[in-house]
Amino acid sequence: MSYAIIGFGKIGHALAKAFARNGIEVAVATTRAPESFASDAAAIGPQIIPKTLAEAVKADVIFLAVRFESHPDVAKALPTWQGKTIIDVTNAYGVSPEALGGQPSSKVVAQAFTGGRLVKGFNHLVATVLDQDPAVHGGRRVVFLASDDDGAAAEIGALAENLGFSPIKLGRLSEGGLLVQARGNSWGQLIFKDLVKFA
Ligand SMILES: NC(=O)c1ccc[n+]([C@@H]2O[C@H](COP(=O)([O-])OP(=O)(O)OC[C@H]3O[C@@H](n4cnc5c(N)ncnc54)[C@H](OP(=O)(O)O)[C@@H]3O)[C@@H](O)[C@H]2O)c1
């Protein structure tokens, strides 16, 4: 299984640190040439491989860590996302319900990534918390996962565990997924809740 993080800002860095901490290789990409963020990547660890967007999207599992508004640009990088799992880490705060066509924001993202399997997750914590070692107080920091595809949710649940987190599945995007959704000027009830699981 190969991994990539698209977007190497605050959240991209936090996710990259989790990969490095656990010795798992991951590609990182932005709109810029990989040389421009190579030293940033090297500072995190040798597992963090700077790539162009076109190269990075060859991975099997892709974290979408760009602003919600940028997701259509990333989606254009491939004609089809068949066979790939996309983890939507975006928060559509400030995006009106009308602009989303009344849909959950992750459904809008899923439609843009035609053919791919989408899991909403790793998006409920601020970057400065997600950045930290999730082994805390003898337990594991919780990340929430929501998906309309149970197989994809299970796959990303296993990855979350390998990254040291404790995943909690919330069900479908239009059900539990709404608890971790931002849109307009509202945040879902579970957003910013820094929870730790002990078993
Ligand atoms: N910050 C938080 O605490 C937090 C918490 C939870 C969720 N989130 C969500 O996570 C996402 C990222 O937030 P952030 O705070 O990490 O933002 P950020 O620091 O502004 O980073 C965004 C990254 O995306 C890259 N990017 C922009 N357009 C791109 C494109 N078309 N293709 C590839 N890369 C592109 C940017 O690089 P270039 O512009 O150089 O290409 C930059 O590296 C947002 O959706 C946000 O809502 C953020």
Predicted confidence at residue 94, as pLDDT, reads 98
**Could you tell me if the CB of 191 is within 6 A of ligand 1?**
no
CATH 3.30.230.70 assigned to domain 3-197? The reply is no
- Point out the ligand 1 atom lying closest to the alpha carbon of residue 66: 24
- Gap from CA of 56 to ligand 1 centroid (Å): 16
Proportion of the chain above pLDDT 90, given as a percent = 99
- pLDDT tens profile 33-84: 999 999 999 999 999 999 999 999 999 999 999 999 999 999 999 999 999 9
Residue-wise pLDDT tens digits, 97-155: 999 999 999 999 999 999 999 999 999 999 999 999 999 999 999 999 999 999 999 99
Give the pTM.
Answer: 0.98
Q: How far is the CA of 128 from the centre of ligand 1 (A)?
A: 14
Question: Are the C-beta atoms of 148 and 140 separated by less than 8 Å?
Answer: no
pLDDT tens profile 137-152: 999 999 999 999 999 9
What separation in Å is there between the alpha carbon of 12 and the centre of ligand 1? 7
Ordered by start, the domain boundaries in the chain are 3-197
Looking at residue 1, its pLDDT comes to: 97
Residue pair 120/85 in contact (Cβ under 8 Å)? The answer is no
Which residues make beta-bridge pairs with 5? 28, 63
